[in-house]
């Protein structure tokens, strides 16, 4: 009798250890060597960086395997996926936004304000960032020109959209804005809306603005 209760205690103890181990191992990130960063997201970030020129070396921390510690990169501490990317530079950083950012499928917040993107057009793939689930986008004073791509209207979870100080950008048809039903902050100072026919209507459509 005493022997079997002893055995029961051992079995229970082993079960507890097993459950504890399972919990710990399932909480571990899916990458080896204790890094949080997801390798394909790290590669995407490096490719994004390769599209930029950074003479002041503001992105010097962007090396090594742990991309979650790089300047401006925030990962989910549960999954390791990059959720926030913020690269602002007082126009020290120039270059282009590469579509490798689409690999950051869990991105919620992108801030690329105050960089010099050389008066190119805003790339249309921006409307697919974070699989279209981006919540915050800031491209203020980032030196883009031309038409604001209506593809931004595909970012249906967008809560804030900041496109200030783009003196050479314009939007003639703001129907895409009315598709952003969750929008709470919209700023487009200096964007030429003079020939936008429908902007009051588009903005009145938004319940949270």
Ligand X SMILES: *[C@@H]1O[C@H](CO)[C@@H](O)[C@H](O)[C@H]1NC(C)=O
102 is a contact residue toward ligand X (CB under 6 A)? no
Q: Which one of residues 48, 70, 117, 176 is an interface residue with ligand X (CB under 6 A)?
A: 176
DSSP state of 148: P
Shortest distance in whole angstroms from residue 57 CB to ligand X: 28
Q: What residues between 5 and 44 interact with ligand X by CB under 6 A? A: none
Shortest distance in whole angstroms from residue 27 CB to ligand X: 9
Torsion over CA: 197, 188, 134, 57 (sign): positive
Show Cβ contacts of residue 137 under 8 Å, excluding neighbours closer than 6 positions: 109, 110, 111, 126, 129, 152, 155, 158, 160, 161, 162
**What end-to-end distance do the CA atoms of the chain give, in Å?**
72
46 or 206: whose CB is closer to ligand X?
Answer: 206
Rg (Cα) of the chain, in Å, rounded?
23
Query: How distant is the alpha carbon of residue 103 from its chain centre?
Result: 10
127 or 165: whose CB is closer to ligand X?
Answer: 127
Shortest distance in whole angstroms from residue 115 CB to ligand X: 24
Shortest distance in whole angstroms from residue 183 CB to ligand X: 16
123 or 127: whose CB is closer to ligand X?
Answer: 127
Tokens 């929008």 belong to: 183
The H or E element containing residue 43 is: helix 39-50
Shortest distance in whole angstroms from residue 149 CB to ligand X: 7
Number of residues that bind ligand X (CB under 6 A): 8
99 or 153: whose CB is closer to ligand X?
Answer: 153
- For residue 20, report the phi and psi dihedrals to the nearest 5 degrees: -60, -45
Site string for ligand X, 40-79 (x = CB under 6 A): -------------------------------------x--
Shortest distance in whole angstroms from residue 133 CB to ligand X: 12
Q: What residues between 119 and 158 interact with ligand X by CB under 6 A? A: 127-128, 150-151, 153-154
Structural contact between residues 128 and 152, judged by C-beta atoms closer than 8 angstroms = no
Cβ-count burial of 10 within 10 angstroms (0-12 exposed, 13-18 middle, 19+ buried)? exposed
Please give the Cα distance from 84 to 106 (Å, whole number): 9
175 or 203: whose CB is closer to ligand X?
Answer: 175
Q: Which residues in this chain contact ligand X in the complex, by CB under 6 A? A: 77, 127-128, 150-151, 153-154, 176
């Amino acid at each position: 009798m005493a022997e079997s209760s002893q055995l029961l205690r051992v079995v229970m103890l082993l079960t507890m250890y097993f459950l504890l181990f399972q919990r710990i191992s399932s909480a571990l990130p899916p990458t080896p060597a204790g890094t949080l960063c997801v390798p394909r997201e790290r590669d995407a970030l490096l490719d994004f960086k390769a599209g930029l020129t950074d003479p002041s070396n503001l992105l010097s921390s962007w090396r090594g395997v742990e991309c979650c510690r790089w300047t401006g990169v925030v990962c989910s501490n549960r999954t390791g996926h990059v959720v926030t990317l913020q690269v602002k530079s007082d126009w020290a950083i120039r270059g282009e936004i590469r579509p490798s950012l689409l690999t950051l499928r869990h991105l919620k917040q992108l801030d690329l304000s105050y960089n010099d993107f050389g008066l190119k057009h805003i790339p249309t793939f921006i409307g697919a960032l974070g699989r279209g689930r981006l919540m915050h986008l800031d491209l203020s004073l980032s030196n883009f020109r031309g038409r604001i791509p209506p593809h931004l209207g595909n970012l249906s979870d967008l809560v804030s959209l900041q496109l200030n100080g783009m003196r050479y950008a314009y939007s003639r048809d703001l129907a895409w804005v009315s598709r952003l039903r969750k929008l709470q902050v919209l700023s487009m100072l200096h964007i030429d809306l003079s020939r936008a026919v429908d902007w009051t209507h588009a903005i009145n459509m938004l319940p949270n603005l």
